[in-house]
Amino acid sequence: MEAPSSLKQQEFSLASVTHLTSPSVSSSSSSVVATFSSSDNHLRIQESDSDDAFTFDLSSAQLFKLAPLQFICVSESLDSAKEKSFSRGVMMKFRDDKESKDFSDSFEEWTKDAVKQGSPLPNGTVSVNKGKFDNKIEAASAKMYFHYYGQLLHQQNMLQDYVRTGTYHAAVMENRSDFSGRVVVDVGAGSGILSMFAALADAKHVYAVEASDMAEYARKLIAGNPLLAERITVIKGKVEDIELPEKADVLISEPMGTLLVNERMLETYVIARDRFLSPNGKMFPTIGRIHMAPFSDEFLFVEMANKALFWQQQNYYGVDLTPLYGSAHQGYFSQPVVDAFDPRLLVAPSMSHVIDFSQMKEEQFYKIDIPLKFTASVCTRVHGLACWFDVLFDGSTVKRWFTTAPGAPTTHWYQIRCVLSQPIHVMAGQEITGRLHLVAHSAQSYTINLTLSAKMWGPGANQGGILQTSSCKFDLKEPYYRMSQPQVYPVVQEPLAQSQDIQIQSDDLEVELLQQNANAQL
């Protein structure tokens, strides 16, 4: 096939064409022709004996395959005399597979050539619209991310999280009035399960947007449910790049990662809101909350510290490993711990940070700063900060919360704990302050900076300052997947009750445990 750059125009015959906004306006004669033109970078679809034509700017046009011989073509309206519409589109049908494939291949080449020439796109210039995701996310991370979610075994892991899947199903079905007769966009559709939930709730049409190869599996799964398939269109592409033929009344998505924000898909969710959602449209979920509380877990702390003891060997096959002990110790404590834990390990009531998906701007996800303030309820050593999240489905009929809290049914997110390399001692009633600072990075995750401090407690506290401060930096991209179920702890934790006698300046317990383990290994 000759390259479009060397052609002035290229024609294809269609079996029929139907205008999406006016289904009654259609043609089904042998004289319907689709013409690519290099003079103005447009695609024109018209009957040979008619002056009327459907015209598309190739720099912004999008083509979606509905069936082997059927496509939808959409782009920005070219009628500048009227108020600028979001997009326009036609449904095209071909006579055989060869014509269908040739047109699809040519369309891809013509649109690429039009973009290279620098024509403006609906949401900005070519460089901004086509590369927004690629500009902020490194290629290696994106490739691994889409490869991961393109595999059925990982989709199965999420589908078998019955707390997650069941809550989404309930949120949709309990709020059927929000979906019935409405246009829905499923952001990051994966297997298409949420799209099918929306269709089961009588959605008028669902656009399932998925950038990974899972889009092909979603098409196959949806096609196997014919009563739903006629109202679902799977679109393979990034939310930042695609176009849709109409605005959405509802956005549905599962954009949550570890600590709510990991993987940075929440940014894609709000981009979809800004690009596709009608004013006063619904978002499922609507609000997210990050919950935080200090915890005490001597078993976990010793487990983390013991990992680096390997590097304390002075004669490992004749080699002294101790020069790397400090780096190894720091490395293990830079990993957030992902597991399920007993909520009785929390040493103070939790606090929360709210993220309103309907209001949050994309840029506000780049840095998230959360001041911390707690009041200790027991005398103990604080080993770090425990975090979990919940989201609200703010439906018109039912407002349903989904939580990953400790003590609640375990999900595939578990909870996350940031363990300090230097614990701090607190007394019951003592104030704990600090800061949790999250900075997004190009590997689709965050760097976590945590600081916890314990203020003076008791008589003379007003004259005192901060007694102890401990800080640590963590990489949310590289967690320690401990994945254990909550350990069984006694109802009354005797060591905690006796911790009043521990001298704040002493780390005797830690030193003794580390020495015992070192002696055991040597």
* Residues assigned a catalytic role: 254, 263
Element containing residue 122 per DSSP (H, E): none
Determine phi and psi for 51, rounding to 5 degrees. Answer: -85, -15
Cβ atoms 451, 435 nearer than 8 A: yes
Rounded to whole angstroms, the Cα distance separating 181 from 159 reads: 26
Rounded to whole angstroms, the Cα distance separating 259 from 273 reads: 22
Tokens of 5: 């750059």
Distances (CA, A) of 125 to 173, 241, 246, 276: 40, 12, 21, 18
Of 140, 147, 198, 148, the closest CA to residue 169 belongs to 198
Sign of CA dihedral 326, 140, 60, 206: negative
Element containing residue 181 per DSSP (H, E): none
Compute the residue count for the chain.
522
Q: What is the DSSP letter of 307?
A: H
Tokens of 248: 């959405």
Radius of gyration of the chain (CA): 29
Write the burial class of residue 476 (CB in 10 Å: 0-12 exposed, 13-18 middle, 19+ buried): buried
As beta bridge partners, residue 325 has: none
